[in-house]
Amino acid sequence: MIRQVSVSDSRRARSFRRGAVGLILSALTVAVAVESSVEVVAVALFKGKAALSVNGKRRLLKIGETSPEGVSLVSASSDVAVIEIEGEHSSLQLDGKIGGAYTRGLAAKTVQLYPDPSGHYFVDGLINGNRFRFLIDTGATAVVINSSMAKRMGLLYDVDGEPTYVSTASGVVAAFKVTFNDIEIRHLALKRVAGVVIDGDFPSEALLGQAFLNRLNMRRDGQVLELQAR
């Protein structure tokens, strides 16, 4: 029997306004000690990039770039930079306070996500051991991938899956309901997650929908989206 599954267009994700472009002329007196071998100090901040001192070495990073020491710049504006080290985030802010500190106990249970410049939340993860780039999509009922992605991971969706149709922004298209054995994002992993494989090239990124999100505690604090194991 063919059933209806509603999947939202990934482009509908809400966006947030960024701060005005600006340069912080004086060095911030805030540092993050992740381990004894890694210390990060914000020196100057721009919209889209940040000048950091990593273990005493000056690094100018754009969003998405990673320093030789393993410090990645997740987001940046004229008054705050979000860095990532080994999957853990910290915010370097103008008032000198550190948000999202590197608390090992919290990191094992919680994933904190920050929006990209367009306001979308992305996270890297695994489906059945295969690497994917996920877009957080609260409007999707399942975890959604396209048929090319499914073939790349060797998923026999058209044999083992259940034929269905899904409603997208482009109209109603053929798809298959499947069950993913396991899905993992950073420190969070769930087994037996409902999924949908859509024939064609939509979506361009895997959609992490409610079949995964509903099994976690999810809350938003300002721009930070926090996913926590139950």
Note down the domain range covering 87: 31-109
**39 and 95 co-located in one domain:** yes
Which residues are paired to 101 by β-bridges?
none
Average pLDDT, the chain: 78
Could you tell me how far CA 27 lies from the centroid of its own chain? Answer: 29
End position of a domain, from candidates 82, 109, 136 = 109
C-alpha–C-alpha distance, residues 55 and 33, integer Å: 10
Residue 52 amino acid letter? L
Hey, CA dihedral for 112, 117, 118, 122, is it positive or negative? negative
**94 and 152 co-located in one domain:** no
Which residues are paired to 123 by β-bridges?
134
Answer with the residue of higher pLDDT: 15 or 214: 214
- What would the two tokens of residue 86 be? 């080994």
What integer is the mean pLDDT of 13-33? 35
Taking only the tens place, the pLDDT of each residue in 60-97 is 999 999 998 888 999 888 777 888 887 777 777 543 33
C-alpha–C-alpha distance, residues 2 and 13, integer Å: 28
**150 and 71 co-located in one domain:** no
Could you tell me how far CA 132 lies from the centroid of its own chain? Answer: 11
**174 and 201 co-located in one domain:** yes
Q: What is the pLDDT of residue 102?
A: 35
Q: For residues 134 and 225, is the Cβ–Cβ distance under 8 A?
A: no
**223 and 134 co-located in one domain:** yes
Q: What is the pLDDT of residue 3?
A: 39
Domain-located, residue 23 = no
3-state secondary structure of 148: helix
The H or E element that residue 150 is part of is helix 147-152
Is beta strand 143-146 parallel, antiparallel or unpaired with respect to 162-168?
unpaired
Name, of 5-19, 33-47, 61-75, 128-142, the range with top average pLDDT: 128-142
**90 and 124 co-located in one domain:** no
Q: What is the pLDDT of residue 155?
A: 96
Q: What is the pTM of this model?
A: 0.57
Domain-located, residue 114 = no
Number of folded domains that form the chain: 2
